[in-house]
Structure 1
């Protein structure tokens, strides 16, 4: 009873391997049949689980609602059931738990629903979910539960088609439930329909222009009337093209540019007056609009995504669709391309995926840390006792080397567990007005000896910055991680450039190295947890840095050119900025 009161528990019950109660702090608790207790505790008593969440239970005496968890007994068969006040768990779950994350994710545009479901039913769900099919009654959900990789399907929700993504939610290497995310298809279908409509309208318009040109040659006596009609159609076409948000580029059969609208000028930094009439390959040297391929192969291209670097150095993702323009005798008279900037859409998709991963890790973090740290502590204590109490007479130096290495590796594993906890269950920020330049200077003092040893020259240029509201210790982790990564990238020496500036409501920190750079394939993965290209790296450093910057309301960007180096830019909202 003293343990119950000190830890603010409702009750503690101990059962043997057959499900019979050994000890209970619940006064006058009605005795449950052994079969009912065994069924309730079967995941523990059968040896399948070390921890089993019983969830919310009604009090047998009509008292407060309980939230119970069962754990396996350490030294003998059986289970220990601990219960706390259910209202406290519900309140905590709504404010900081996975329930809060689910409700927050469900409010994002384009998301229809989010839920966690086990074989018994719905565990947690967004507010618009009232009922869902059980896993046992849905072949697709049973299939998803049996496979580790994410599954997807088109299904119906409240009379609308949605794209449902399903991922098993593993606990102790066994999938016990599913994470289900429903994405609206309305925006996607509107975008596809709009693109097809735009290509079709443009093809019709250019076909009409060709027909009018032929008519002008054949019927000379109606030149005035046809000329007026032609000008009217050109005016309409030009108005449509100029007001389109997508870039439009058209060429004739010889490959000379005939149309280039305002959106194309802005996207590709090309002057229309200088581009019209020139050969397409002279203006678009890398066939950015895929018109050279369309003319050569005579086939339509739909929705091909291509990376593109602007004149200012920004990276974009462009969706290119082309159509060939048929001539009077069936031969192609040219081609037209419609190019859309889908960079923001892809960034949003990556953000959703990253949130999914962090949501799953957040729910598992505490359990993993507990299960891993206890054996590590036991190993560390055993290694220490071996050094102090069991020192052999022979091979003493080798024995001490082995025990020292053992304790060192235990410490490294503890550090990895701590980093995992920091990523999945971050502490609350302690914001205070701070001098960002001064903070960066403190970190530089720490890494300058390492820079000298690596033959790396440090070039710092600090702009004038007002104080900014940040958590100093967390932001130091970000700066230190980025600078050390830069130093480790320059194995043969080089130059580390540090720049700060203020503008557009943000304080910016730019860290640039002259290392080998990052490949385009790896550039998309640098912020993924456990992704690393370094020997001995954990792959958590950049993930934690990204999480810290986002929690400050900022963002972190990366740009790299293989063979030239990498630039990380951290943007933190200035003091008082939204």
Structure 2
């Protein structure tokens, strides 16, 4: 009996081989999808060992005792149709290798032969069952197998004239109990190993997903123009984004995330004199106050700072805080400039009204001076002429100022730019002749019409032409050219003067800036205002000693571009 018990325990350990191998194999969760192959292979190995180490409790019979049924069931039920088919084929092949005395009983008496079709019938159901249901299926097959074996054992013992005493039934009861317990525990171990592997796999999947989402969130926070810093409940810095690092590096270029994370918030910023330590927003929200914000000025930059606490959603406990900082220097400057522009606009409107009213008394003064000139002695005529010229000059300045100050909507009509140039050319030639200069017209052959205001365009052309004439000495040449370029119609006014220094070019279109002794500084600003009202662009090309070219570009419509293209063909 003792020997039989020892052999039975050995069979138990052999039957556990698939469970042990499954636990070792699924230590890496990514292998769980191939665990059925592992169970099938080691189940076949376990069946072979059970057969090789089987024992004979009754010397009078050739029927051995072993636990081959347990790994055989596991190999088919867990392995599936393909692996289970290989396990069953291997088992029948192994039967051929055992002694003939055993083979004579094996085919017709072996319970595995009769259970195999039923095991394959339950493969699909077993695969979709819970752990408890799988335990029940295995136990049912184990009971059925043990019943078949015991019936056969009793029959063999009766045929062999072996006395069926209490020792026989006690041994068979012990063997059956151990067999059922082994079948139950081996399934429990396999299911535990698989469940643990699935949990680890789910955990790893969730962890990877969490890590990906955290990385995405970190990238989003780094990409935002806001400076962001996070602290824990003890005010230790836990995170900082690139925007805030960029700001901090303006104080110390050696700052990095590794230098900041883990340090105490207040002490760190106190050391860097970036924020005042008294009543810091982050400390206030950590104490339970609601979201806080304030304006902060560091050097020449202005920041809007804001802090908010982070709470545990279940308990409501404050677990940290986040601080944000937005550089609003440009916004503050823009608001200040808008305020200045509004005040300047108001001043301009008042000045325009005042200058408009000034012209009336000036006209009266000029009329009386003309009357006094007629009645005064001849030697005073030069004085009257000077006074009238200065009055005319003042009136011209007032007219230019009014044109520049009034932001009115001009009425446009479809006209050809060449017609305006040709109509105004006699006046330009007259001015050029008085100066001893020459004017050349180089007009493109075909240009489409434009929506222009004739009066303002004539004023634009006169101002640019007269500026060019004043920039040249005697015998200079002023060239007026037109061309079609990249969807734009361009007007070019080119002189042969001395050019404009680079230091002055940027100031040309500033009101009241002039380099002339009697200039008003309103001619070119007026030209810029006219061009902008026509949605055009004006630019200057100049080189000292070679002259200056003013280029005015107006955008041509799509239909007009087609006209030019067809004309070119």
- Name the structure with the higher helix share: 2
Could you say which TM-score interval applies, normalised by the shorter chain? 0.3 to 0.5
- Name the structure with the higher strand share: 1
TM-score, normalised by the number of residues in structure 1: 0.38
TM-score, normalised by the number of residues in structure 2: 0.39
Q: Which has the higher contact order (CA 8 A, sep 6+)?
A: 2
